Amino acid sequence: MRFDLAPLEGVTDFTFRTALCRFFPGADRCYSPFIAANQTCSMKTREKKDVAPEHNSGVLLVPQILTNRADVFVWAAKEMAERGWTTVNLNLGCPSATVFTHGKGAGFLSDPSRLDAFFESVFETVPDGIRVSVKTRIGIEDAKEAPALLEVFNRYPLDELIVHPRLRKDFYKGKPDLDAYRLFYEGCRGNLTYNGDIFSAADLEALLHVFPRTCRVMIGRGAIRNPAVFRMLRGGAGPDAGELMRFHDEVLAGRMEDLQGFANTAGKMKEQWFYMGSLFEHADRYLKAVKKARTLEAYRAAVRALFENCRLAAC
């Protein structure tokens, strides 16, 4: 079984990824938050830093690209290859309104014929040695959109098809549509990866009961909530408070250095706690103090109080 870390904008940056792989090994590959490739064929400084090999020590990275233009995708793929990354991933899953209204991310799923033309151009022009994978949802408004999308995907030599079985309109609410996922499970001609709501070994067992040939799983929110999830899925122990604190402190220190101070780091740490807070029992008042912290000293005091006063919940 292969396990990959899914990208989550604002959280799974290189500081998070490297700390995760050091303290809680178990992820085979980590996907970067998307690079917003555009017609200017340029990358933001933040994006360059995030995919730089020197910032991803110990991490097998797959850069994710957000675009609906084949020429721009190929440019970005070449940029990643120059950095030593041999697989790139096309984001067809982001549901945010800003992305969607520009026909990117999940918005690109609205026009299978245009998506088909995109892939035809990509695979005609992308250099040999660069592998292309896709992360997709099952449609925008109705799961009946899925067969046309699978037909397009099956026409091309994708290195991997990662399916998050929710519609764009679902965002991350409700349950993954496993009936719709079965279409991909039974009909995908290449490598298929499942993504969606795997938070524990019990969740994985339930998935394998229905889809026993599953051999690739991608986990996003489950790994932010519980950084030890990959270890646990491989039969290892759950997290203990000490290693979780050390992991947190390394992420905090890395972001403080990268972002030059707590003012720019606070939002990322608090978003991480939005997920990781559920690891602790009876933690509401302490998490509220973390959220309200305006200085590094107040933040550290709030985190310390949480660890001292709240037990870890069973994972």
pLDDT in tens, 226-266: 999 999 999 999 999 999 999 999 999 999 999 999 999 99
Q: What is the pLDDT of residue 276?
A: 97
Per the structure, the count of domains in the chain is: 2
Q: Hey, how many other C-beta atoms are within 10 angstroms of the C-beta on 179? A: 11
Q: By the 8 A CB rule, do 110 and 68 touch?
A: no
Are both 218 and 292 inside the same structural domain? no
Residue 119 has pLDDT above 90, yes or no: yes
% of the chain residues with pLDDT over 90: 97
Answer whether residue 19 is part of any domain: yes
Answer whether residue 164 is part of any domain: yes
Given 181, 212, 233, which residue is the final one in a domain?
233
Q: What is the pLDDT of residue 260?
A: 93
CATH classification of the domain holding 170: 3.20.20.70
Are both 26 and 73 inside the same structural domain? yes
Answer whether residue 315 is part of any domain: no
Are both 142 and 11 inside the same structural domain? yes
Q: Is 65 helix (H, G, I), strand (E, B) or coil?
A: strand
Answer whether residue 35 is part of any domain: yes
Instruction: Kindly state the average pLDDT of the residues 211-219.
Output: 98
CB neighbour list of residue 48: distance below 8 Å, 6 or more residues apart: none
Are both 248 and 104 inside the same structural domain? no
Q: What is the pLDDT of residue 315?
A: 80
Taking only the tens place, the pLDDT of each residue in 17-75 is: 999 999 999 999 999 999 998 888 889 999 999 999 999 999 999 999 999 999 999 99
Q: Hey, how many other C-beta atoms are within 10 angstroms of the C-beta on 269? A: 20
CB neighbour list of residue 239: distance below 8 Å, 6 or more residues apart: 24, 226, 227, 228, 279, 312, 315
Taking only the tens place, the pLDDT of each residue in 82-108 is: 999 999 999 999 999 999 999 999 999
Q: What is the pLDDT of residue 3?
A: 98
Domain containing residue 259: 241-309
The percent helix, strand, coil of the chain (3-state, each to 5) is: 50, 15, 35
Diameter of the chain by CA atoms? Answer: 59
- Find, among 131, 123, 125, the residue nearest to 80 by Cα: 131
- Cα three-residue angle 73-77-79, rounded to 5 degrees: 120
Buried b / exposed e over 219-229, threshold 16 CB at 10 Å, is: bbbbbbbbbbb
Are both 296 and 198 inside the same structural domain? no
Answer whether residue 31 is part of any domain: yes
CB neighbour list of residue 107: distance below 8 Å, 6 or more residues apart: 68, 99, 100, 101, 140, 168
CA distance 206 to 226: 19
Are both 95 and 176 inside the same structural domain? yes
Q: By the 8 A CB rule, do 96 and 105 touch?
A: yes
- Find, among 197, 201, 203, 230, the residue nearest to 23 by Cα: 230
Are both 147 and 246 inside the same structural domain? no
Reported as a pLDDT band with limits 50, 70 and 90, residue 113 is very high
Reported as a pLDDT band with limits 50, 70 and 90, residue 179 is very high
Given 196, 217, 233, which residue is the final one in a domain?
233
CA distance 312 to 283: 10
Are both 226 and 246 inside the same structural domain? no
Are both 11 and 33 inside the same structural domain? yes
CA distance 253 to 88: 29
Answer whether residue 300 is part of any domain: yes
Are both 178 and 135 inside the same structural domain? yes
Are both 253 and 207 inside the same structural domain? no
Average pLDDT over the chain reads 97
Least confident of 33-42, 203-212, 279-288: 33-42
The partner residues of 195 in beta bridges, in order of sequence, read 218
Answer whether residue 143 is part of any domain: yes
Q: What is the pLDDT of residue 281?
A: 97
Answer whether residue 201 is part of any domain: yes
Which amino acid would we find at residue 221? R
Given 233, 252, 277, which residue is the final one in a domain?
233
pTM of the shown model: 0.96
Are both 110 and 176 inside the same structural domain? yes
Instruction: Kindly state the average pLDDT of the residues 201-226.
Output: 97
